[in-house]
């Protein structure tokens, strides 16, 4: 049983989308956890602190997916 390889352009789009959503998540969680903390409950502040490293990990994962797609497309200069 063989599986078809995913389309690198689609993988590239997925990686970019992951990075964009994770960046929004990092921004939102930073705002909740730090400068706007007094406007949120303690539970929301804790959630903000926990969401920050999780969203950073998804950003890094999206970056790796993006690099893999560039590599599959033959663009070895992508960084």
Any domain includes 56: yes
Q: For each of the chain's 79 residues, which pLDDT tens digit applies?
A: 668 889 999 999 999 999 999 999 999 999 999 999 999 999 999 999 999 999 999 999 999 999 999 999 999 888 7
Any domain includes 60: yes
Any domain includes 79: no
Any domain includes 78: no
Any domain includes 59: yes
| Residue 68: partners with Cβ closer than 8 Å, 6 or more residues away | 11, 15
**Could you tell me the pTM of the whole model?**
0.89
Domain count of the fold of the chain: 1
Any domain includes 64: yes
Q: Which of 53, 76, 61 is nearest to 17 (CA)?
A: 61
Range of the domain at 29: 8-72
């Amino acid at each position: 049983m063989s599986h078809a390889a995913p389309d690198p352009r689609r993988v590239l789009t997925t990686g970019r989308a992951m990075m964009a959503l994770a960046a929004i998540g990092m921004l939102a969680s930073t705002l909740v956890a730090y400068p706007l903390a007094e406007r949120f409950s303690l539970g929301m502040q804790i959630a903000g602190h926990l969401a920050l490293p999780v969203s950073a990990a998804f950003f890094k994962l999206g970056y790796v997916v993006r690099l893999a797609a560039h590599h599959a497309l033959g663009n070895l200069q992508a960084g």
